[in-house]
Amino acid sequence: MDNKRQIVRDNYARIASGIAEAAAKSGRKPEDIAFMAVTKTVDPVLVNEAIDCGIQLLGENRVQEWQGKKDAYRAGVPVDFIGALQSNKVKYLMGQIRLIHSVDRMSLAQEIDRQAEKHGLVQDILLEVNIGGEASKSGIAPSELPALLAQVGTLPNVNVKGLMTIPPPCSDTRYLEAMEELFLRTKESDPERMQILSMGMSDDYAAAIEHGSNLVRVGSALFGARDYSKTK
Protein backbone atom coordinates (compact mmCIF):
# COMPACT_ATOMS: atom_id res chain seq x y z
CA MET A 1 0.00 0.00 0.00
CA ASP A 2 2.90 2.39 0.73
CA ASN A 3 4.02 2.13 -2.90
CA LYS A 4 0.49 2.85 -4.09
CA ARG A 5 0.31 5.86 -1.80
CA GLN A 6 3.56 7.19 -3.26
CA ILE A 7 2.17 6.73 -6.77
CA VAL A 8 -0.87 8.81 -5.79
CA ARG A 9 1.41 11.53 -4.43
CA ASP A 10 3.48 11.56 -7.61
CA ASN A 11 0.39 11.55 -9.84
CA TYR A 12 -1.21 14.35 -7.85
CA ALA A 13 1.84 16.57 -8.27
CA ARG A 14 1.98 15.90 -12.01
CA ILE A 15 -1.74 16.54 -12.57
CA ALA A 16 -1.77 19.66 -10.40
CA SER A 17 1.11 21.01 -12.47
CA GLY A 18 -0.78 20.20 -15.68
CA ILE A 19 -3.88 21.95 -14.39
CA ALA A 20 -1.85 25.03 -13.49
CA GLU A 21 -0.27 25.12 -16.94
CA ALA A 22 -3.61 24.73 -18.71
CA ALA A 23 -5.20 27.36 -16.49
CA ALA A 24 -2.43 29.82 -17.37
CA LYS A 25 -2.96 29.16 -21.08
CA SER A 26 -6.63 30.05 -20.68
CA GLY A 27 -5.90 33.21 -18.69
CA ARG A 28 -6.92 31.80 -15.33
CA LYS A 29 -5.33 30.78 -12.04
CA PRO A 30 -4.98 27.18 -10.81
CA GLU A 31 -7.40 27.92 -8.00
CA ASP A 32 -10.05 28.78 -10.60
CA ILE A 33 -10.15 25.08 -11.57
CA ALA A 34 -11.69 22.46 -9.28
CA PHE A 35 -9.59 19.27 -9.32
CA MET A 36 -11.97 16.42 -8.48
CA ALA A 37 -10.70 12.99 -7.47
CA VAL A 38 -13.00 10.33 -8.94
CA THR A 39 -13.08 7.50 -6.43
CA LYS A 40 -14.87 4.63 -8.22
CA THR A 41 -13.33 1.31 -7.02
CA VAL A 42 -10.58 3.18 -5.14
CA ASP A 43 -9.56 2.08 -1.64
CA PRO A 44 -10.40 4.79 0.94
CA VAL A 45 -6.77 4.72 2.10
CA LEU A 46 -5.71 6.03 -1.30
CA VAL A 47 -8.56 8.53 -1.40
CA ASN A 48 -7.37 9.91 1.92
CA GLU A 49 -3.83 10.06 0.56
CA ALA A 50 -5.10 12.24 -2.28
CA ILE A 51 -6.90 14.45 0.23
CA ASP A 52 -3.69 14.81 2.21
CA CYS A 53 -1.97 15.89 -1.01
CA GLY A 54 -4.49 18.68 -1.51
CA ILE A 55 -7.62 17.23 -3.14
CA GLN A 56 -10.62 19.25 -1.96
CA LEU A 57 -13.43 17.56 -3.91
CA LEU A 58 -14.44 13.92 -4.41
CA GLY A 59 -16.60 12.47 -7.17
CA GLU A 60 -18.73 9.35 -6.63
CA ASN A 61 -20.29 7.30 -9.44
CA ARG A 62 -22.33 4.70 -7.60
CA VAL A 63 -24.64 5.26 -4.66
CA GLN A 64 -24.13 1.85 -3.06
CA GLU A 65 -20.34 1.95 -3.30
CA TRP A 66 -20.24 5.46 -1.86
CA GLN A 67 -22.42 4.46 1.08
CA GLY A 68 -20.01 1.66 1.90
CA LYS A 69 -16.92 3.90 1.80
CA LYS A 70 -17.97 7.38 2.89
CA ASP A 71 -17.36 6.90 6.61
CA ALA A 72 -13.74 5.96 5.90
CA TYR A 73 -12.99 9.23 4.12
CA ARG A 74 -11.40 12.24 5.77
CA ALA A 75 -14.10 14.43 7.27
CA GLY A 76 -15.04 17.74 5.73
CA VAL A 77 -14.24 17.06 2.06
CA PRO A 78 -17.28 17.74 -0.15
CA VAL A 79 -18.57 15.00 -2.42
CA ASP A 80 -20.28 15.37 -5.80
CA PHE A 81 -22.32 12.63 -7.46
CA ILE A 82 -21.22 12.25 -11.08
CA GLY A 83 -22.65 8.91 -12.23
CA ALA A 84 -25.90 7.94 -13.87
CA LEU A 85 -28.60 8.35 -11.23
CA GLN A 86 -31.80 6.40 -10.88
CA SER A 87 -34.73 8.26 -9.37
CA ASN A 88 -35.14 5.68 -6.60
CA LYS A 89 -31.58 6.36 -5.39
CA VAL A 90 -31.98 10.13 -5.05
CA LYS A 91 -33.18 9.88 -1.45
CA TYR A 92 -29.81 8.48 -0.36
CA LEU A 93 -27.94 11.57 -1.56
CA MET A 94 -29.95 14.35 0.03
CA GLY A 95 -28.07 16.45 2.56
CA GLN A 96 -24.80 14.64 1.89
CA ILE A 97 -23.89 15.46 -1.70
CA ARG A 98 -22.73 18.94 -2.68
CA LEU A 99 -23.65 18.75 -6.35
CA ILE A 100 -25.35 16.23 -8.65
CA HIS A 101 -23.71 16.39 -12.10
CA SER A 102 -25.81 13.96 -14.10
CA VAL A 103 -29.33 15.38 -14.40
CA ASP A 104 -30.58 14.74 -17.92
CA ARG A 105 -34.38 14.58 -17.64
CA MET A 106 -37.19 16.43 -15.99
CA SER A 107 -38.46 13.37 -14.11
CA LEU A 108 -35.12 13.05 -12.31
CA ALA A 109 -35.07 16.77 -11.51
CA GLN A 110 -38.59 16.47 -10.10
CA GLU A 111 -37.57 13.62 -7.81
CA ILE A 112 -34.55 15.60 -6.62
CA ASP A 113 -36.88 18.52 -5.94
CA ARG A 114 -39.29 16.28 -4.02
CA GLN A 115 -36.58 14.73 -1.86
CA ALA A 116 -34.86 18.08 -1.28
CA GLU A 117 -38.14 19.55 -0.05
CA LYS A 118 -38.44 16.70 2.47
CA HIS A 119 -35.02 17.64 3.83
CA GLY A 120 -35.70 21.37 3.83
CA LEU A 121 -32.92 22.19 1.40
CA VAL A 122 -32.19 23.31 -2.15
CA GLN A 123 -30.09 20.82 -4.09
CA ASP A 124 -27.50 22.14 -6.54
CA ILE A 125 -27.29 20.25 -9.84
CA LEU A 126 -25.68 20.32 -13.27
CA LEU A 127 -27.47 19.41 -16.46
CA GLU A 128 -25.69 16.72 -18.45
CA VAL A 129 -25.26 17.34 -22.17
CA ASN A 130 -24.45 14.55 -24.64
CA ILE A 131 -22.29 16.76 -26.80
CA GLY A 132 -21.27 13.93 -29.16
CA GLY A 133 -24.76 12.51 -29.64
CA GLU A 134 -23.59 9.07 -28.56
CA ALA A 135 -26.33 6.48 -28.09
CA SER A 136 -24.29 4.74 -25.39
CA LYS A 137 -24.17 7.82 -23.16
CA SER A 138 -26.77 9.68 -21.17
CA GLY A 139 -27.35 13.40 -21.43
CA ILE A 140 -29.58 15.68 -23.44
CA ALA A 141 -28.90 16.91 -26.94
CA PRO A 142 -27.62 20.50 -27.07
CA SER A 143 -30.84 21.54 -28.81
CA GLU A 144 -32.85 20.29 -25.81
CA LEU A 145 -30.97 22.38 -23.27
CA PRO A 146 -33.09 25.58 -23.36
CA ALA A 147 -36.31 23.66 -22.78
CA LEU A 148 -34.92 21.60 -19.90
CA LEU A 149 -33.40 24.69 -18.30
CA ALA A 150 -36.78 26.40 -18.43
CA GLN A 151 -38.59 23.37 -16.99
CA VAL A 152 -36.12 22.81 -14.15
CA GLY A 153 -36.33 26.51 -13.37
CA THR A 154 -39.88 25.96 -12.12
CA LEU A 155 -38.69 23.63 -9.33
CA PRO A 156 -38.21 25.51 -6.04
CA ASN A 157 -35.84 23.03 -4.40
CA VAL A 158 -33.42 22.53 -7.30
CA ASN A 159 -30.74 25.00 -8.33
CA VAL A 160 -28.94 24.62 -11.67
CA LYS A 161 -25.28 25.62 -11.34
CA GLY A 162 -24.07 24.79 -14.85
CA LEU A 163 -23.41 21.96 -17.29
CA MET A 164 -21.57 18.64 -17.42
CA THR A 165 -20.46 16.57 -20.37
CA ILE A 166 -18.39 13.52 -21.29
CA PRO A 167 -17.13 14.14 -24.84
CA PRO A 168 -16.42 11.22 -27.17
CA PRO A 169 -12.80 10.01 -27.30
CA CYS A 170 -11.32 12.06 -30.11
CA SER A 171 -7.94 13.00 -31.49
CA ASP A 172 -8.97 16.64 -31.87
CA THR A 173 -10.86 19.15 -29.72
CA ARG A 174 -14.02 19.67 -31.76
CA TYR A 175 -16.36 18.35 -29.04
CA LEU A 176 -14.64 20.40 -26.35
CA GLU A 177 -14.99 23.46 -28.58
CA ALA A 178 -18.67 22.70 -29.21
CA MET A 179 -19.34 22.37 -25.49
CA GLU A 180 -17.48 25.57 -24.71
CA GLU A 181 -19.57 27.41 -27.30
CA LEU A 182 -22.80 25.97 -25.88
CA PHE A 183 -21.85 26.92 -22.34
CA LEU A 184 -20.87 30.47 -23.28
CA ARG A 185 -23.98 30.94 -25.40
CA THR A 186 -26.19 29.73 -22.57
CA LYS A 187 -24.33 31.89 -20.07
CA GLU A 188 -25.08 35.01 -22.10
CA SER A 189 -28.79 34.57 -21.47
CA ASP A 190 -28.57 32.84 -18.08
CA PRO A 191 -25.40 33.99 -16.29
CA GLU A 192 -26.67 33.27 -12.78
CA ARG A 193 -27.08 29.54 -13.45
CA MET A 194 -24.08 29.00 -15.72
CA GLN A 195 -21.27 29.03 -13.17
CA ILE A 196 -19.75 25.56 -13.60
CA LEU A 197 -18.62 23.69 -16.70
CA SER A 198 -17.72 20.16 -15.60
CA MET A 199 -15.69 18.78 -18.50
CA GLY A 200 -12.46 16.85 -18.78
CA MET A 201 -11.21 13.56 -17.33
CA SER A 202 -7.91 11.73 -17.06
CA ASP A 203 -7.11 11.80 -20.79
CA ASP A 204 -8.30 15.29 -21.69
CA TYR A 205 -8.39 17.47 -18.57
CA ALA A 206 -5.76 19.91 -19.82
CA ALA A 207 -7.48 20.45 -23.18
CA ALA A 208 -10.84 20.77 -21.42
CA ILE A 209 -9.49 23.52 -19.18
CA GLU A 210 -8.17 25.36 -22.23
CA HIS A 211 -11.74 25.19 -23.59
CA GLY A 212 -13.43 26.68 -20.57
CA SER A 213 -13.85 23.86 -18.08
CA ASN A 214 -13.57 24.92 -14.46
CA LEU A 215 -14.10 21.45 -12.95
CA VAL A 216 -12.17 18.39 -14.09
CA ARG A 217 -12.95 14.83 -12.98
CA VAL A 218 -9.75 12.77 -12.70
CA GLY A 219 -9.71 9.12 -11.66
CA SER A 220 -7.30 6.70 -13.33
CA ALA A 221 -4.60 9.31 -13.95
CA LEU A 222 -4.54 9.94 -10.19
CA PHE A 223 -5.17 6.49 -8.71
CA GLY A 224 -4.13 4.15 -11.53
CA ALA A 225 -6.22 1.75 -13.60
CA ARG A 226 -9.47 0.74 -11.91
CA ASP A 227 -9.94 -2.76 -10.51
CA TYR A 228 -13.57 -3.52 -11.30
CA SER A 229 -13.42 -6.85 -9.45
CA LYS A 230 -13.80 -4.84 -6.24
CA THR A 231 -17.33 -3.89 -7.25
CA LYS A 232 -18.55 -7.44 -7.79
Q: How far apart are CA 205 and CA 225, in angstroms?
A: 17
125-157 residue pLDDT tens: 999 999 999 999 999 999 999 999 999 999 999
Q: What gap in Å lies between CA 106 and CA 87, rounded to an integer?
A: 11
Q: What is the pLDDT of residues 8-37, one digit of tens each?
A: 999 999 999 999 999 999 999 999 999 999
The answer to whether residue 1 scores a pLDDT higher than 80 is no
Residue type at 208? A
Average pLDDT, the chain: 96
Residue 231's alpha-carbon distances to 40, 79, 140, in angstroms, are 9, 20, 28
**Structural domain span for residue 129:** 2-231
DSSP at 167: P
- Please state which of the ranges 4-18, 135-149, 194-208, 218-232 shows the lowest mean pLDDT: 218-232
Amino acid at 97: I
Domain count, the chain: 1
CATH of the domain at 63: 3.20.20.10
